Structure 1
Amino acid sequence: MFSPIAPARWFTEPGFAGPGDEVSDAQRSLRLRFWVQPGLYVEGLQDAILRLNFSYGAGFRRDSLLNVLINGLFVRAIPLNEPSGATLLDYKLRIPAGMLRSGPNQLEILPMLVPAETGWCQLCQAENLLLTVYGDSTLELPPMTQFARLPDLELWARTGFLSLRDPEGSGLAAQVVDASPDAAGAAWTLLARLAQISGLPLYRAEIGADPDLKDRKVVVIRAFQDLDPEPKAAAPWRLSDAQSFADYGSLRTIAEAEIGGAWWQHSLARIQDWFETQIASPRDHRVRVLYADQILRSCARRRY
């Protein structure tokens, strides 16, 4: 993990980083880790712009290239087919913004370097397979707004959103209602995980049975059946022994308002839509929650 406030740096497998990072046949990749704000939303078809400044040696075979990946997905290949080598400045690549994700991201440059002279009973010389990506290469992110449909436990587990307003935890409070060792251990484990995401100790976070809750996001830690009615009613979960539901806001869909009446009224209503915005009504969907032991039992019954 790395801190969202730490500057993004190029690094290779051994962890070398400097003004120009050299990648040879032995060092198989060059990576850039960077942080994107949680709940990112990019309007329209916009791209991130990668501007590379790099040099490569002579004597490469014509199928040598650089593969560019974002979060493990292929973006583009850069051919390295100049026989005498080259220095390329401000080489621009466009990365679709949809390939970015909230929280940690990784840009990877994977060189595939092949010597020009290869064959049976020939000396395969690879000392010239050198590539340098200069440290003044840049990655420019598109303009973004913050939009998230909550609750989103996957987003929370990856970025700490909304619990982590800042890396020091100044907007976070963990209220341990139950004084049992299990509850205390769960609270410290939770804070340790959020500290891993932040990359810094959460020394400004409040924790205790009666912490300061003013202007803070509160995480209440207690067995669900023992929770007070107020936080239980506010939770997006409906848990019971018989059946459990999650009322996710992200599963609310917008349905067009129904138009009643005769066929000619339908036509008039469609003409009216040209001038007026149709009022939409939300529909709620309920989702069944399965616990791990239920899934395991289901899989066990299918074994032969």
Structure 2
Amino acid sequence: MNKLARSTALALVFAIASFTRPATAQVQPEDAAYDVYARYRDDPAITTQQVEPGLWRAHLPLAMLRSEQGPIRLDGAEDTARMGFALAPQADVQSARLVLRHVSGRGQAKADPQLRLTVNDRFVGQLAGVTTNAAGVNEVVLDPSVLMTGFNTLGIDAVQRYTYDCQDPDAPELWTDIDTTRSYVEVTYTRHPFAGSLADLGALVTAGVGGVDHLGIVTGDGAMTPDRLRWGALSAQAVSNRLGYRLPDIAPLAPGALTTDAAGMDIVAVGTVAELGGLVPPEASALSGDEAWLSIAPSPADPTHFMIIASGLTPAGVEGAVRALAQDNFPLSDSDALLLSGADLPSGAVVARKRPIEAGAKYTFSNLGLADTSLFGKDHGSVELDFDLPADLRFRTAGEAVFSLDFAYGAGLRDDSVVNIVVNGEFQRAIRLTNPDGEVMPGYQIGIPTSALRPGHNTVAFEVELSTESEGLCSTRSMRHLAFVLKDTSTLTLPEADAYVELPNLALLAETGFPYTGLGADGFAIRAGDTQPETAAAVWTLAARLGQMHGTVFTGVDFGFGLDLGDQDTLVVGTRTALAGFMPASISFSGDAGTVDGGTFSRDFKSVDLGDNGLLIEGQSPSFAGRLVTVMTAETEQRLLSSAKSLVQPSHWSQLEGGAAVWRDNAATVVTQAPATRFAVGTMDPDERARMKSAQSPWRWILTIAGILFALASVLALIARYMRDRMNES
């Protein structure tokens, strides 16, 4: 081993060891379970545990029921928080309770602040505000009758006072904080025996309490094949896309283990009739040729869960069954089985549930999912517009996105009333509302710089601040005349943009899945390092996470085994030993430099023990310029699957950035490193490219300009000298 390889290997060993071993001064007795991350509070997570046979209890922290991070802050004389949770049809609620940890400002101690609690707009309890130095904890027992199948809304309304005389409704004393990590909804339930048809898939395959938490995938006995790897991934996506925002815990199952290992699981069995054997019902004997079979029935391991069978006599038949399962709009019959043949067999790509909007186009707010929105009787409020942009979109310098807003506001406002436009959390522009008689404003145009927009998800907030005249401390404050309406006929016009992106970029992968989205015409490849079932389940887990972002199904993806790299972006999943001879020299992990850079990774990787860590790393393909290779690996097959399940959780996934990431089960363990070198994919306008290069290398630009000026001055000096000599001669 040469000196460079030896130093890189030692650095890698040191880096990995630092993630896996506590300091020697903290060594615990051998019988103690020591966790170096014990100082971090456990990540809030929705959990379900079995209380006794047939009885389950779901724990739903409020932090997991809302998109905003951190505690709930209720400000002012009146404020409201709303959040939701789902109950699956299979859950028969026996009891429920709400536990709330909250504290209010001490300035309200003598004025009896209150919290009013509702579920689905029905009153369930009220709590006195806690104004002591520390937070208080209250428990409210919920009547199961107020909970309903589907989406449930929990409301918390604060009524706050610091005086019974004249009060400023926006005084800083008026606040209540609710700890969303240690406040939770708890639901205890039994499960109904499964009864449903294929037409009920949309209702049965749901997230929430009593929904699909654990998914077992059966692909038949024997070694994993490329077809089985593919069908398992498509089945995982078919289920996960219906769940919408949560991923099930995916596990591989053998046909003979259904009665022992599949308790508490919903099951998808996918494969040919010969591969699935006795799992396929006798009615499937009517199959012939490339016909497909799709059925649903109670699981043989647990009659309260379902088992879906997607099968056929041939691989083409199985493919047709999986595609029918994956399509939301496929006309499934109101029966427990369906035989598809001929023109009934679905083909082609499965249409994505959601796609990013394109540059160079105009969109109405209604197209973007925002309906007419009105604010009445409030001095402030926010109207939010959400949309996704392509991952490889790059707007040109000094471009503007133009809003044409149709809005109206009421009379009697002070002239300092405004609408602030905040894009992705940063203030951009403001609109003054200055007419004291109110006004209807159709087509009010205002531009924002395209630099405020970013690839992936974008949020534009129209923050309305309405001021009204008031005099004196005890003057009557009526806000019933305050009004603002934003119409869904308003439009957003985006300028033209280039398709250009710099890689590696794990943050872009986490935000958009790029380039593994299934949206574009260019396909990609997914490779498993070996044929072990745990490795396949790790592939299925990652595929489910990537597909769920846009509701896509990877029908156009090249699945396979082995470590050959073709002329396409490739996602590789396998254990460290399986990938030791594969890792391209363009992808490496450096512990001392804090970067991901080139080197002799393939040689060094053989001698490094990853311990309990998972490793995700990206780099350019050594054989095909402009192609990305993304590798996820761990020490053993079991650890690989465990690492995949941790990685796809929001607590881990949201932290990805740079060119490499290392993690363990606790989200506090995620460590990322920036790539030392990047490569570009796509095309860019020549003038824009020149501006970009100048911005990246200002000294080069300055020296170039200086060189041009020097050359110009030299030419002018020579001309002047020539003219002077001619004049002297004459």
In the superposition, the TM-score normalised over structure 2's length comes to 0.31
Partner of 2:587: 237
Amino acid at match of 1:198: H
Q: Is the 8 A contact 2:423 2:460 kept in 1?
A: yes
Partner of 2:465: 112
Deviation at 1:47, TM superposition (A): 1.1
1:221 partnered with 2:661: no
Distance in 2 of aligned mates of 1:79 and 1:241: 53
Aligned-partner SS, 1:191: helix
Cα 1:192–1:270 shift into 2, 3 Å? farther
1:103 partnered with 2:456: yes
Amino acid at match of 2:435: E
Deviation string 1:6-64 (CA, Å, 9 cap, x unpaired) is 897859xxxx943x321332882111111222222233311111111110011112221
Q: Is the 8 A contact 1:49 1:94 kept in 2?
A: yes
Cα 1:131–1:201 shift into 2, 3 Å? farther
Deviation at 1:189, TM superposition (A): 2.7
Amino acid at match of 1:22: S
Distance in 2 of aligned mates of 1:224 and 1:64: 61
Unaligned runs of 5+ in 2: 1-244, 246-352, 598-675, 681-695, 701-706, 716-730
Q: Is the 8 A contact 2:405 2:491 kept in 1?
A: yes
Q: Is the 8 A contact 2:523 2:557 kept in 1?
A: yes
Deviation string 1:210-268 (CA, Å, 9 cap, x unpaired) is 79x988532110124431634x116x421378888513433898796xxxxxxxxxx89
- Identity %, equivalent residues: 27
Distance in 2 of aligned mates of 1:42 and 1:17: 24
Q: Is the 8 A contact 2:405 2:445 kept in 1?
A: yes
Distance in 2 of aligned mates of 1:6 and 1:148: 17
Partner of 2:434: 81
Aligned-partner SS, 2:435: coil
Choose which of 40, 49, 71 in structure 1 pairs with 2:424: 71
Q: How is 1:1-304 mapped onto 2 (pairs within 5 angstroms)?
A: 3-5=354-356, 17-18=370-371, 20-24=372-376, 25=378, 28-117=381-470, 119-166=472-519, 171-180=523-532, 182-202=534-554, 204-205=556-557, 207=559, 209=561, 217-227=569-579, 229-230=581-582, 232-233=583-584, 236-239=586-589, 245-247=595-597, 248-250=676-678, 271=711
Amino acid at match of 2:575: A
Q: Tell which deviates more after alignment, 81-90 or 176-185.
A: 176-185
Aligned-partner SS, 2:374: strand
Cα 1:199–1:112 shift into 2, 3 Å? farther
Q: Is the 8 A contact 1:170 1:205 kept in 2?
A: no
Q: Which has the higher contact order (CA 8 A, sep 6+)?
A: 1
Deviation at 1:269, TM superposition (A): 12
Q: Is the 8 A contact 1:4 1:34 kept in 2?
A: no
Cα 1:223–1:269 shift into 2, 3 Å? farther
Distance in 2 of aligned mates of 1:224 and 1:27: 55
Deviation at 1:4, TM superposition (A): 2.7
Aligned-partner SS, 2:454: coil
Deviation at 1:144, TM superposition (A): 0.3
Aligned-partner SS, 2:479: coil
Aligned-partner SS, 2:544: helix
Aligned-partner SS, 1:189: helix
Q: Tell which deviates more after alignment, 141-150 or 169-178.
A: 169-178
Distance in 2 of aligned mates of 1:194 and 1:47: 31
Cα 1:23–1:173 shift into 2, 3 Å? farther
RMSD of the TM alignment (CA)? 4.0
Amino acid at match of 1:271: A
Cα 1:190–1:27 shift into 2, 3 Å? farther
Deviation string 1:97-149 (CA, Å, 9 cap, x unpaired) is 11111111111101012233454323211122111111111111121001112
How many residue pairs get aligned? The number is 259
In the superposition, the TM-score normalised over structure 1's length comes to 0.69
Q: Tell which deviates more after alignment, 46-55 or 170-179.
A: 170-179
Aligned-partner SS, 2:501: coil
Cα 1:208–1:76 shift into 2, 3 Å? same
Deviation at 1:94, TM superposition (A): 1.5
Partner of 1:297: none
Distance in 1 of aligned mates of 2:421 and 2:528: 46
Which has the higher Rg, Structure 1 or Structure 2?
Answer: 2
Q: Is the 8 A contact 1:62 1:116 kept in 2?
A: no
Cα 1:27–1:216 shift into 2, 3 Å? farther
Q: Is the 8 A contact 2:525 2:570 kept in 1?
A: yes
Deviation at 1:84, TM superposition (A): 0.8
Distance in 2 of aligned mates of 1:72 and 1:241: 34
Distance in 2 of aligned mates of 1:56 and 1:268: 57
Cα 1:98–1:39 shift into 2, 3 Å? same
Aligned-partner SS, 1:110: strand
Distance in 1 of aligned mates of 2:591 and 2:431: 57
Amino acid at match of 1:3: K
Distance in 2 of aligned mates of 1:124 and 1:108: 27
Structure with greater helix percent: 2
Deviation at 1:151, TM superposition (A): 1.5
Q: Is the 8 A contact 1:36 1:102 kept in 2?
A: yes
Q: Is the 8 A contact 1:237 1:245 kept in 2?
A: no
Cα 1:243–1:53 shift into 2, 3 Å? closer
Distance in 2 of aligned mates of 1:241 and 1:94: 45
Distance in 1 of aligned mates of 2:391 and 2:708: 44
Partner of 2:74: none
